[in-house]
Amino acid sequence: MGVLYAADRDLIFYVHHANVDRMWYIYDNVLKRKNIEDPDWLRLNSSFIFLNETTRPIRVTVKDSTNLAKLGYTYPDLPLSWLDCKPKADRKGLNLTKVSVPKASEVLPIKLEKPISFVVEQPKKSRGGQEKAEAEEVLKIKGIEFDKGETVVFDVFVNEDHTSKCNPCKAKSLGSFHILAHGHGKKSTTSRSFTISGVLEELEADDFDSILVTLVPRRGVVTIGGIEITFVPKP
């Protein structure tokens, strides 16, 4: 799956992409989120050539793919129990004054070879209801450098002061960074953002001056360049 020229020969390829497409359908039709309107993303010249059912080449634009009716199929409206099923925090109100960890600026950049924790300052605390409705608080990990020939995975947690308890199924988990090996050893650098508004509210930590961030490597090695908390307008 990580080797682009041969990925479609893997039997899971179609199932994987069909489920990604299904998640888009849920986002658009069940969650009723605002669709992407960025002209750069929807521009007509952003297109791909496919073979239709008669093996005739046709050009499909990115904009066409946002409307499943045009593509001739849809997904059944099945129960989605996971929508309202999220883990509850087992411990709230972590007191950072009792946790001896460095600031992010004191340890980054760093080669992530073992679990590491550091404190990140919040640019603004105790946001009002209107502010939360207009913008999402996001943790952005910058300068993630990795070898494209290696599969890399690390998990991200907030306000978890015991690395032995870091579990992706816990409320303190923000998510994971995943990169599949692509068959060659070139270095690449990227960034990854994680929404933290809901997690901080669940942990009763949205009015803290700082939060504790823990990175736990699961596979491969990456270098972390920096980290920051920003606010992104909601669509």
Residue 41 lies in a domain: yes
104 lies in some domain = yes
Cβ pair 203, 172 in contact under 8 A: yes
Written as tens digits, the pLDDT of the chain (235 aa) is 666 677 788 888 888 888 888 888 888 888 777 666 667 666 656 788 888 889 999 888 877 777 777 778 888 888 887 777 666 655 555 555 566 789 999 999 999 999 999 999 988 877 777 877 888 889 999 999 999 888 999 999 988 776 666 666 676 888 899 988 876 668 899 999 998 888 888 887 777 888 899 999 999 999 999 999 998 887 6
Residue 112 region by backbone torsions, left for phi larger than 0, else alpha for psi between -120 and 50, else beta: beta
Are 60 and 102 in the same domain?
no
Do 121 and 173 belong together in one domain?
yes
Does 49 share its domain with 104?
no
Residue 81 lies in a domain: no
Full-model pTM: 0.73
Same-domain status, 57 and 126: no
- Is residue 87 in a domain? no
Q: How many domains does the chain have?
A: 2
Whether 166 contacts 214, CB under 8 Å = yes
Q: Is the dihedral of CA 178, 182, 187, 190 positive or negative?
A: negative
- The answer to whether residues 125 and 185 belong to one domain is yes
Is 124 inside any structural domain? yes
Dump the DSSP string for 167-223.
-TTSTTEEEEEEE---SS--EEEEEEEEE-HHHHHHTT-TT-SEEEEEEEEEES-EE
State how far the alpha carbon of 203 is from the alpha carbons of 96, 97, 123, in Å.
13, 16, 18
Final residue before a domain boundary, out of 36, 71, 106: 71
The parent domain of residue 24 ranges over: 7-71
Identify whether 85 is part of a domain: no
